[in-house]
Amino acid sequence: MKSIDNMIMDKIQTKKAEAAGKKQQKVSLLKLFAFADLYDYVLMGLGSVGACIHGASVPVFFIYFGKMINIIGVAYLFPRQTSHRVAKYSLDFLYLSVAMLFSSWIGKLKLFFIPFLLLFYSVPSNKLLN
């Protein structure tokens, strides 16, 4: 009688042997997008724009953060000007965070863009649900 450990090891080895026997099918980049329609291109474009905005927001955040640290460092010299400039950069942080929010969730906002896409292109109903 086999122990449970031996049965598990046999099962793992058979799975590895099956996986080694199968070859992965590779597809060229052009073939990958061969069946994309206008709806897919618009969503890929929106996702690319959102990714660029989201990726650029981190360096912009560090620039504003560095400016705010410099202002706070000299706060004892110019207290009135400092409070005004800190408020300005705090508002800039708020704008940047809103831009980051919308750029990172642009894929989830496709339901917002569907009515606009329907004006220009008829989308099959099964694509709307996916």
How sure is the predictor about 12, in pLDDT bands with cuts at 50, 70 and 90? confident
Please indicate, yes or no, if residue 88 is contained in any of the structural domains.
yes
Please indicate, yes or no, if residue 11 is contained in any of the structural domains.
no
Please indicate, yes or no, if residue 35 is contained in any of the structural domains.
no
How sure is the predictor about 117, in pLDDT bands with cuts at 50, 70 and 90? low
Question: Is 47 within 8 Å of 106 (Cβ atoms)?
Answer: yes
Please indicate, yes or no, if residue 42 is contained in any of the structural domains.
no
pTM value is 0.53
pLDDT higher at 67 or 108: 67
Please indicate, yes or no, if residue 121 is contained in any of the structural domains.
yes
Torsion 102-39-115-127 (CA) sign: negative
Provide the pLDDT for residue 4.
Answer: 67
Q: Domain range spanning residue 91? A: 49-125
Tally the domains of the chain: 1
Please indicate, yes or no, if residue 16 is contained in any of the structural domains.
no
Cα of first residue to Cα of last residue in the chain, in angstroms, is 49
Please indicate, yes or no, if residue 115 is contained in any of the structural domains.
yes
Question: Which stretch of 17-26, 35-44, 121-130 has the lowest confidence by average pLDDT?
Answer: 121-130
